[in-house]
Amino acid sequence: MMDKNSDSFTEMLAAVQAFHDKHDFKGSGGEDLAYRVALMTEELGEISACVTKGKDKEQLAEECADLFILIMGNAISADFDLNQAFWKKMKKIMNRDSKMINGRIRVSEFKS
């Protein structure tokens, strides 16, 4: 198992792959993307509950980690390079303008 304090994307992805392998996600439906979207929705609900019900940051961090693990698992399941996709998207959004909408900052592709 990888170092639990590692911040290496490659090591984190390998840990998620090991989890998939341990539980045979590929052979038991755990890599079905529709199923994974439902799991992510569930995790977003748990993150929302942490925020709206004033739970502590440790609980929030755990729920965010659950979502992050699921997202990394999506890359495994759908066979795409999440690291490459991340940096490609960051480059794109760093070139976007921002707007204040209803008192909150929004960074998007705004259409005229």
Mean pLDDT of 50-73: 97
Mean pLDDT of 32-50: 97
> Given its phi and psi angles, is residue 79 left (phi above 0), alpha (psi -120 to 50 degrees) or beta?
left
Kind and range of the H or E run holding 33? helix 33-52
What average pLDDT is seen over the chain? 94
Mean pLDDT of 45-73: 97
Measured CA distances, 30 to 24, 51, 65, 87 (Å) = 8, 28, 18, 27
* pLDDT surpassing 70 at residue 28: yes
The domains located in the chain, with CATH, are 9-80 (1.10.287)
Measured CA distances, 5 to 19, 38, 63, 89, 103 (Å) = 17, 29, 18, 26, 37
Is the CB of residue 50 less than 8 Å from the CB of residue 64? no
